[in-house]
């Protein structure tokens, strides 16, 4: 027997006969009867002493020679197989047994041992290549990766982590997480995005944690991604979109106001004034008031997007909520396709407002074609389970689904362009999602609200 390091473990001797001795004894016993009979005949017969001693030596030598040859033919292959298995255990997969063939039992054993050695060699080569690739990727990626043991001591770090901490890699293993400024990142309640300052870099980092086992002990894996540049780019693009939309709407309102104000000013300065100047003045002021009201609604819409409060979760029965929303629509009867009675954790007021927006949009679309609107819900099995509430209409469908959730984008003449944006914000605040798609086989649109179930 051997231990994990490959060293033979001594054990007390037992009284059983070894395999080699059993083989030699069996070989001797196999020819023993013939040798005894031959010797009896030889020494009791009328032979000279020279013949007796010569034949006795020949018989005994032949007997012992074949016995030990049989022992060697049995024991030597076992030793070869043992040496091959020992080499495989030590990780040397280059040794092969000679004489491996399929026309005898020993050859089949050697063939299987050689095949095992080749399989292990291929697996080890694949593991080495995968490990080398993993190390190369870990060194080249611009993401700091740290591995800590159960005592929050650093065990592994990649090149990006070394640059982040501005320390040579020789001094990092064994360092405490608090000393490295990473203790806060290891806490389970740490936020996913943190503002962190390190000797090598300062910025906003996305923090990801995980666990793994090495040597039977639990370790923590910490991954830090610098998202400052990406967040700044997203913020810049958001500001550009905001300024573009606001500039467009402001110009649409201020340009006619400015033009009308100039025309009214010229009208007031004219002497003598035309007979219908008061009618022109009234109509101009009405247009200015209408455009000002439109601009006020536009700015109020932006305020509503920014003032959406966080949801107050409570148990909400889905069936009564959907039925109540469907009954609020008076322009068109909304058909119900009820599912199983289910409760979700949600803000009832926000969820009701979301469904009102979806049903109202569906009715607006159905009225254009004289179609109908259907609303219902069903459970979606999976991991995790979810509830899907749908609203589908027989309207003309969506001409362009790309800008549906862009603030103030609308295809309606009197639309504000914020209903779907608010609806998606409400859905995402509840941990769900909101999607709108054209129906596949029939005209119209289908809105899907998916909410997680506990």
User: What's the farthest any 2 CA atoms get from each other in the chain?
Assistant: 173
| pLDDT of 2 strictly over 50 | no
| pLDDT of 71 strictly over 90 | no
| pLDDT of 276 strictly over 70 | yes
Give the pair of three-digit tokens for residue 193: 């995005």
- Of residues 67, 63, 77, the one with CA closest to residue 22: 67
Q: Which pLDDT value is given to residue 297?
A: 64
Which residue is associated with the tokens 């009701």?
352
Whether the Cβ atoms of residue 390 and residue 432 lie closer than 8 Å to each other: no
Q: For residue 265, count CB atoms less than 10 angstroms from its CB and return exposed for 0-12, middle for 13-18, buried for 19 or more.
A: exposed
What size, in residues, is the chain? 454
First to last CA, the chain: 55
Query: Alpha-carbon distance 426 to 346, whole Å?
Result: 10
Q: What is the mean pLDDT of the chain?
A: 79
Residue 344 — pLDDT band, cuts 50, 70, 90? very high
Q: Which pLDDT value is given to residue 48?
A: 84
- The pTM assigned to this predicted structure is 0.44
Query: Alpha-carbon distance 64 to 67, whole Å?
Result: 5
- Alpha helices by DSSP H, 224-276: 228-269
Of all residues in the chain, the percent with pLDDT exceeding 70 is: 84
Q: Which pLDDT value is given to residue 3?
A: 46
| pLDDT of 6 strictly over 60 | no
Query: Alpha-carbon distance 93 to 310, whole Å?
Result: 63
Contacts made by residues 223-226, CB under 8 angstroms, sequence distance 24+:
223/143, 223/144, 223/145, 223/146, 224/143, 224/144, 224/146, 224/161, 224/164, 224/185, 224/196, 225/143, 225/144, 226/142, 226/201
Q: Quick one: average pLDDT of 98-127?
A: 80
pLDDT per residue as tens digits for the range 156-186: 888 888 888 888 777 888 888 888 888 888 8
Q: Quick one: average pLDDT of 414-419?
A: 55
Residue 322 — pLDDT band, cuts 50, 70, 90? very high
Give the pair of three-digit tokens for residue 392: 């589908």
**Strand 386-393 relative to strand 334-337: parallel, antiparallel, unpaired?**
unpaired
């Amino acid at each position: 027997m051997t231990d994990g390091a490959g060293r033979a473990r001594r054990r007390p001797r037992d009284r059983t006969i070894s395999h080699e001795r059993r083989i030699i004894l069996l070989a001797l016993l196999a020819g023993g009867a013939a040798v005894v009979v031959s010797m009896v005949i030889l020494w009791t017969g009328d032979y000279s002493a020279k013949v007796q001693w010569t034949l006795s030596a020949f018989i005994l030598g032949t007997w012992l020679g074949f016995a030990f040859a049989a022992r060697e033919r049995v024991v030597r292959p076992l030793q070869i197989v043992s040496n091959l298995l020992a080499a495989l255990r030590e990780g040397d997969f280059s040794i092969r047994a000679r004489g491996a063939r399929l026309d005898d039992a020993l050859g089949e054993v050697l063939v299987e041992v050689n095949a095992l050695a080749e399989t292990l060699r291929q697996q080890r080569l694949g593991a080495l290549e995968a490990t080398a690739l993993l190390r190369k990727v870990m060194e080249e990626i611009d993401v700091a990766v740290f591995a800590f043991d159960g005592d929050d001591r650093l065990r592994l770090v990649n090149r990006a982590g070394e640059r982040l901490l501005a320390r040579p890699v020789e001094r990092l293993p064994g360092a405490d997480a608090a000393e490295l400024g990473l203790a806060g990142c290891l806490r389970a309640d740490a936020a996913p995005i943190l503002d962190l300052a390190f000797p090598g870099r300062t910025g906003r980092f996305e923090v990801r944690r995980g666990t793994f086992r090495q040597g039977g002990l639990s370790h923590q894996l910490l991954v830090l991604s610098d998202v400052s540049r990406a967040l700044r780019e997203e913020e810049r693009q958001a500001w550009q979109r905001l300024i573009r939309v606001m500039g467009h709407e402001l110009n649409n309102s201020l340009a006619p106001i400015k033009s009308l104000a100039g025309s009214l000013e010229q009208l007031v300065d004219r002497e003598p004034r035309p007979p219908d100047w008061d009618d022109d003045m009234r109509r101009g002021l009405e247009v200015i008031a209408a455009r000002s009201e439109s601009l006020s609604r536009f700015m109020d819409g932006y305020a509503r997007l920014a003032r959406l409060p966080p949801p107050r979760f409570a148990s909400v029965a889905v069936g009564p909520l959907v039925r109540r929303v469907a009954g609020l629509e008076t322009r068109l009867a909304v058909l119900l396709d009820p599912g199983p009675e289910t409760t979700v954790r949600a803000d009832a007021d926000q969820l009701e407002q979301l469904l009102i927006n979806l049903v109202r949009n569906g009715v607006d679309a159905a009225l254009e074609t004289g179609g109908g609107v259907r609303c219902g819900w069903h459970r979606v099995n999976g991991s995790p389970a979810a509830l899907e509430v749908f609203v589908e209409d027989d309207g003309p469908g969506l001409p362009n689904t790309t800008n549906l959730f862009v603030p103030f984008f609308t295809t309606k003449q009197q639309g504000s362009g914020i209903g779907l944006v608010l609806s998606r914000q409400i859905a995402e605040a509840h941990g769900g999602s909101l999607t709108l798609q054209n129906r596949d086989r029939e005209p119209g649109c289908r809105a899907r609200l998916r909410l997680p179930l506990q």
